[in-house]
Structure 1
């Protein structure tokens, strides 16, 4: 996953703003200028000067193959001709003969080791060595190179960054991460290159960017059946065009996509972000995210939060900290994207950041950067949200993902599965320093990184009418019971009723499924305590949700799963407020509805005591609702004790289910 992938964001619109030139090619665009501007100041032999001049002329005519022998003859004629050694190195580098180029640069340096005239040789030699990952060899040249500049000069500081990278790279290679990337599947390789993979939390739907032989980039989709991947297909004829679409991001339910398009569509700048929604099997016509998100500058490489309500992306708009920075925009309650904010330091640097990926946990941000210390070029990093710790808004100091996830090549992007165990990326195959093709790979995340990425579980299923089984369009909300704040808010598919909701680890959550005309369904998830068998640690839970209509004959009833009492007590715990407020809101929006609040216990203990406890618990709920403004005449409290178990009292798990509060429409 080197230069080609890093540069081909959308074909022809690279991270650096230029077409990829392949490995070692980062500085080659300067060679013609260097060759013509320099003069053979160190030549002593007239014949050598003539050969040198002929070689320069031929290269100016783009005849590098013919220029090289003449430069070699000039050196043979005058071995002390330092400038000829330098130009020969540049010619070798231009033709991708890197070992020969290194020898030529070394020769130039040996002739004038302390002269500023050797600066170009030091620069090119150390740059090639760094791009080859030969950090130990590069260090002494870099350290000598640095002495040619004043300590406070820009050149001195630039070389200092290279020295820091060389030392970091040397240490990283000496202590590699235990990773073993494997090709994802040969069946996906239907085009010359594939890159920027994104997946749904169940890892069964894959969307990626494919480069076609004609140079067009499209978004492709493939599905996994538990054993193999399907052949990739175009994501949608309404999304893919004859121009380029790429670098997509999916919401957790796979029904919202944001992608980049740089040509063809009417936009605001060089590259814009577009959004499409899936209903049933169809994607909507892509919408430009508008002038708040898109500008006349460059916007690309989006990453959506799991619920699709927060968007990270890359832009070079004014107001940033560097050339290209990571920005963030939130979707407000009215469905409008807010003014983007720069996520600031320590993520963004004076250089370039790229390809942000916010993990499904909403806390782990992966991104690429050439501004942080790494192994060379763009490296991949991870940082943690400080907001989740309660300290402050911001991010922790980024951590380099290490070798061999990062190498001396550019690493463009990484996708980490919701369960935090696997990572997907693209690896670029090269030949003689030229990018050949890019393929999708997967590897198990090493333990050191798994500890950084909190896994998330997810619920998926279908919401339907409990009586007719007709799929329903419904709202699915996840609430943090400690803060009473909405963690996630998604809608079911209006056609199929399907939903996917992410469940973060480490907290207590209430999940509500609701739609007008039906009792809401409440579910409770406690991830603060270890679960037997680690059931919820990054696993998926299939749960179809039948909703009971308020009217239609038989009285509708539901269990209130987020009401909490101390054992043998009837005082409502503070975290019950979320559920109680939901009931109050339901009653206010359904002013003609009357309900029964019913208390139930298990079979342990004295029957009379259980009956009294269940009655008092039901009355406590009614008291709260009355205080919240619900008319007392619309509420009825009754305790049933142990007389109406939901399931047989044959286990602790069943007894817990029987200790409950239900509400029923009268």
Structure 2
């Protein structure tokens, strides 16, 4: 499991595009390999140029050395190696030849010979400037290979050559931290058993950056095609197997590169990255497409608030699609590339992004943020936090609100839903073998917190061959960190005509009266998916103008495991003749009392808002009990509870008393036989209906 997720877009360049950089300019969206190849070229050229004059005892050794350098400058690294090898044989004390031979071996991923060459430099002249380069290269290579115990002695000797507070000593100190962390991580591995998602998905040379809907039924990923084009592909799970992947849409995929996508929980909002071929603002921009029925809309650039002349990529949407995390190197960041966040306003426009700040962002690079469906756990990659080398995966938790909705009122006169997630826990390294000495760049964790998805890079002789989509069960130690969520999905339709309705579905925290999420059902199909966090009490409201709203109650205070619920919701039209009653499921009374609990305000504010939106409507509020206790007492209690609702609506909600009447029915109109505790709970209720 050498590299779980090394493909995801860290640097924003694709392999193919970088290999073709001599022919045309452009940036891809998915993989890092080509960029690192060119970066290695530049670094080695710099080292070659900065090494100073070379000293050889024989002209033949010098000529061989010069010929090797010439070939490398022509991007012929492998052809250069025999000449440099021969130069060291002609003159075994030729220090620069040994050093550059090690660099050539390293560049061509022949790591064992490169280590031997670097050690030879140190042995020949341990105190020369060239030995410093050898110490640096030797220890860095050992770290890259995960040989932390071998790297530590060289790092400690190298650090001793510099003043304790110097930049060089601090840089080496970071490497020493990496070696020590790596040793400890290897000694305490997490239980991880990776397996391919499905061979059915392997229709292109490489697949990477997987994202899924909350129900894990729809998978979108980036595919690298044989011609070098990156496209977004989609596959669905039919209950047993995955369907063969297909292009997500001809309106989204083009002959240029599209990739690193993110989906809302219902799979109907897609944000992705494109770096060329579209009219944009910078090197890479973010685009959005929305799904109606089975069709995706033509992508739209997210605009100059999100996209700038800098680099924007690697998006991650909150479950309801109203909060966006992404990576940018725009001015005002903490480091090179930082994670930023923006909220979608009630006007449908993205707000000015804010830097998520410390302790997540560092002076180095952060990449590939993924906000879990709980809106609270942020997974990301970083080469700035202490890890096992290169990019490691981390998780940080929100320490303030878990809200992911836009700033808007729950109902008229109620509190605003707070937006800012300003504080985060100190990031936790996900540990070995999720992280290794190789780069790990992205991870997707299911809504239930049980499974993780990533791309695994198959290698041969240290060279990446292809990427495949893998999954593993999240270790128990990490699963405890991820607050699971349930999801509710189904179809919303007119109760009489069965016509699908584009209803608004809102989840509200009953303890704070704040919106947790807001999604809209598909206008063509009526389908919806809403995420339900565990660990709280929530009211879920389904509403559309011209219909009675439906209220549902979910008590997850004792729930620790996320699971899905299928629930189709019929809505009764207001003007539909005899209107069926609706139960107010989020009213709360103490046993045997009629005083409304404070958390009932959410429900009552909803009913007041409905009445204000429908000024010609009058309603009856009815109270009901089970058969426990004295029938006369139950009748009185039911009347008083109904009257408590009416009193709130008139005194606090501002509804004219003539529009509402209260009536108590006691135990006379049960919904179910009073034979079980659950049936009795159903019978204890407050209903309302249009008169």
Deviation at 1:53, TM superposition (A): 3.5
Matching of residues 161-560 of structure 1 within 5 Å = 161-388=174-401, 393-530=422-559, 537-560=561-584
**8 Å contact kept, 2:13–2:27:** yes
**8 Å contact kept, 1:509–1:525:** yes
CA gap 1:26/1:377 in 2 versus in 1, 3 angstroms: farther
**8 Å contact kept, 1:4–1:435:** no
CA gap 1:513/1:67 in 2 versus in 1, 3 angstroms: closer
CA gap 1:137/1:22 in 2 versus in 1, 3 angstroms: farther
**8 Å contact kept, 2:9–2:32:** no
Determine the C-alpha separation between the residues in 2 that align with 1:563 and 1:597. 12
Unpaired runs of at least 5, structure 1: none
CA gap 1:18/1:657 in 2 versus in 1, 3 angstroms: closer
- Equivalent residue number for residue 664 of structure 2: 639
**8 Å contact kept, 2:29–2:273:** no
**8 Å contact kept, 1:6–1:410:** no
Tell me the TM-score normalized by structure 2.
0.92
Name whichever of 592-601 and 117-126 sits farther off: 117-126
Determine the C-alpha separation between the residues in 2 that align with 1:358 and 1:567. 41
- Equivalent residue number for residue 683 of structure 2: 658
- Equivalent residue number for residue 20 of structure 2: none
Determine the C-alpha separation between the residues in 1 that align with 2:97 and 2:396. 47
- Equivalent residue number for residue 579 of structure 1: 603
Determine the C-alpha separation between the residues in 2 that align with 1:206 and 1:66. 44
**8 Å contact kept, 1:8–1:20:** no
**8 Å contact kept, 1:378–1:411:** yes
- Equivalent residue number for residue 611 of structure 1: 635
Name whichever of 74-83 and 573-582 sits farther off: 74-83
**8 Å contact kept, 2:190–2:431:** yes
* Corresponding residue SS for 1:509: strand
Cα-to-partner distance string for 1:230-272 (whole Å, 9 max, x where unaligned): 0001111111111111111111111111111111111111111
Q: Aligned match of 1:629 in 654, 661, 664?
A: 654
**8 Å contact kept, 2:342–2:352:** yes
* Corresponding residue SS for 2:554: strand
**8 Å contact kept, 2:13–2:35:** no
Name whichever of 270-279 and 70-79 sits farther off: 70-79
**8 Å contact kept, 1:209–1:217:** yes
* Corresponding residue SS for 1:449: helix
Name whichever of 649-658 and 5-14 sits farther off: 5-14
Cα-to-partner distance string for 1:442-499 (whole Å, 9 max, x where unaligned): 0000011001000000100001111111111110000100110000011000010000
* Corresponding residue SS for 1:387: coil
CA gap 1:282/1:73 in 2 versus in 1, 3 angstroms: closer
**8 Å contact kept, 2:13–2:32:** no
CA gap 1:257/1:168 in 2 versus in 1, 3 angstroms: same
CA gap 1:227/1:611 in 2 versus in 1, 3 angstroms: same
* Corresponding residue SS for 2:626: coil
**8 Å contact kept, 1:375–1:408:** yes
Cα-to-partner distance string for 1:290-332 (whole Å, 9 max, x where unaligned): 1111111111111000011100000110000011100000011
- Equivalent residue number for residue 76 of structure 1: 89
Cα-to-partner distance string for 1:420-454 (whole Å, 9 max, x where unaligned): 00000001112223221111000000011001000
**8 Å contact kept, 1:603–1:642:** yes
Matching of residues 87-126 of structure 1 within 5 Å = 87-126=100-139
Determine the C-alpha separation between the residues in 2 that align with 1:49 and 1:370. 39
Deviation at 1:78, TM superposition (A): 3.1
Determine the C-alpha separation between the residues in 2 that align with 1:616 and 1:131. 73
Cα-to-partner distance string for 1:157-184 (whole Å, 9 max, x where unaligned): 1111111111111111111110011011
Cα-to-partner distance string for 1:18-55 (whole Å, 9 max, x where unaligned): 96259999645322332344356554455544443443
- Equivalent residue number for residue 34 of structure 1: 47
Deviation at 1:70, TM superposition (A): 3.4
Q: CA RMSD in A?
A: 2.1
**8 Å contact kept, 1:478–1:487:** yes
Determine the C-alpha separation between the residues in 2 that align with 1:567 and 1:299. 56
Name whichever of 409-418 and 15-24 sits farther off: 15-24
Is residue 2:617 matched to residue 1:593? yes
Unpaired runs of at least 5, structure 2: 18-25, 403-417
Number of aligned residue pairs: give it.
661
- Equivalent residue number for residue 565 of structure 1: 589
* Corresponding residue SS for 1:326: strand
**8 Å contact kept, 2:257–2:275:** yes
CA gap 1:111/1:599 in 2 versus in 1, 3 angstroms: same
CA gap 1:519/1:64 in 2 versus in 1, 3 angstroms: closer
Determine the C-alpha separation between the residues in 2 that align with 1:119 and 1:516. 73
Tell me the TM-score normalized by structure 1.
0.96
* Corresponding residue SS for 2:44: helix
Name whichever of 638-647 and 381-390 sits farther off: 381-390
Determine the C-alpha separation between the residues in 2 that align with 1:397 and 1:234. 39
Deviation at 1:8, TM superposition (A): 6.8
